[in-house]
Amino acid sequence: MSLVQHPQKIGVIAGLGAAGVATAYFVNKYVKSRRYWNAEYVDVGRVDRAFIYPIKSCKPVETSYLDCAERGPRNGWLTDREYLVVDEANEHMFLTARTYPKMVLIDCEAEANKFVVKFPDGKRVEIDVAEVVKRNDVRRAALHGGKKTDGLDCGDEIGEALTQYLQVEGKRRLRLLKFDPKLWTERDFHTDPSWWHNPVPNVQDHINYSDMNAFMAISTGSLEVMNQKLAEIGSEEVEIRNFRPNFFINSNVPFAEDYWLNVRIGDAEFVCVRPCTRCILTTVNPTTGEKHPKMQPLKLLREFRLAPEGQLRKAFDMSPIFGVFMVLVRPGRVRVGDTVYAQIKPTAF
């Protein structure tokens, strides 16, 4: 009996065949997904150095440990990106070392209810944190992309000191704001599938005044390659402080962090969500507060670290990739010397 004489049977057979192909496809996809999200953790290095940046775009504090909490790392009374310089004369738009490179020389220290801002000329301004909270002078700051968040103004003395130090008298009226998690913000965000070709973890992040996420890591191997390439063109080396990570990971594998998915360090656990895109801030010398005259290392990074063509290039454009952003999954303490364990993605992006 020929198949031509039984079109209904042909339809059934074809349907079963298509169903089988579809089932095989989804089973294969499920298996790959399980492998991706449940990959084995492997030793990828050690924590070489740890940094915290209490005032956004100002001098880092290097520490022996970081207590990793929801909105970022802490060390004693210092919290990462808890303070922000803004211009009262321009709708409280934030200021950074991209425009005012001497900001990277502004230091700080803290103890119970006291935050001290230290300037390179020796000037110190003590801020009574309890008084700042009590006064409750709420200002609405504008950050990247015009997104806004409220903060507490820290008073006239520090505002005037910042204005004088950056030599913007008559042009800007600077203020220092303190982040308060109880105040309104529109800067908490959800991960975006366009950040990788690989599946992007579906998580939310809550931040203080960070540009993107609350945690960022770079490997020593990545910096070594960067400096080798700079030497080849006769340019001076840069240091890790040019790139402002929280964790500098001792790993001989260049750009190992491109491949990390979930990461465990000390008592804490993170999920990597996005490559760190770079801007002109990398050209600011962290010791002198001066921009590199030839825009290095940013110019060189654009030659070999742009995102791959496709959705990532569309998302990141001419901003090169160097380092990885992470979202905290499990709070805990991370110490210098701790082993770093990571799940490895099948491809970098």
Sorted by sequence, the CB contacts under 8 Å of residue 132 that are 6+ apart come out as 152, 153, 154, 155, 178
Question: Residue 325 to residues 147, 223, 265, 270, 300: CA-CA distances in angstroms?
Answer: 19, 16, 15, 10, 21
- pLDDT at residue number 3: 39
Residue 248 has pLDDT above 80, yes or no: yes
Q: Which CATH class is domain 40-51+188-344?
A: mainly beta
pLDDT at 4: 43
What single DSSP character describes residue 341? E
Is it the case that residue 71 has pLDDT exceeding 70? yes
- Work out the pLDDT band at 193, boundaries 50, 70, 90: confident
Residue 101 has pLDDT above 70, yes or no: yes
The pLDDT of residue 20 is above 60: no
- In whole angstroms, what is the distance from residue 49 CA to residue 245 CA? 9
Mean pLDDT for the chain overall: 92
> In which residue ranges of the chain is CATH 2.40.33 found?
40-51+188-344
Instruction: Over range 18-36, report the average pLDDT.
Output: 54
pLDDT value at 11 more than 60: no
